[in-house]
Amino acid sequence: MTLADCEQLTPANDSFDDSGLYLMSQLPFFDNGASDDIHRAAAIMLSIRIDSEFVNVYLATYAEGKSKEDALDAISAVLQKAEKTITDLADEVSKNYIFLL
């Protein structure tokens, strides 16, 4: 799981079944005291790392009509919103990637 690989979830402690309910504000990268600019920068950096792992490790390709920029924008938009869940993130991933493995 990419969020675990990016040290946002700990597989030993977090049930996959329950992880979809986690809010972005509950993940380590999200600094609840930070400004919107800091949230945006952190989200962009994490979305680049997630995209790289999807493409290079899981051999994902971009969905028809989608580009790397589309995928990064969609992931980053979710990561920036404290109230969004991992399920919301997964929905955007599903819209933007096709996984071959």
Query: How far is the C-alpha of 75 from the C-alpha of 18, rounded, in Å?
Result: 20
| 61-62 and 97-98 beta bridge pairing | antiparallel
pLDDT tens by residue, 51-84: 999 999 999 999 999 999 999 999 999 999 999 9
Mean pLDDT of 12-40: 80
Domains in the chain: boundaries: 2-98
**DSSP state, 12?**
T
- Strand ranges (E), the chain: 61-62, 97-98
Mean pLDDT of 72-99: 95
Higher pLDDT, 74 or 5: 74
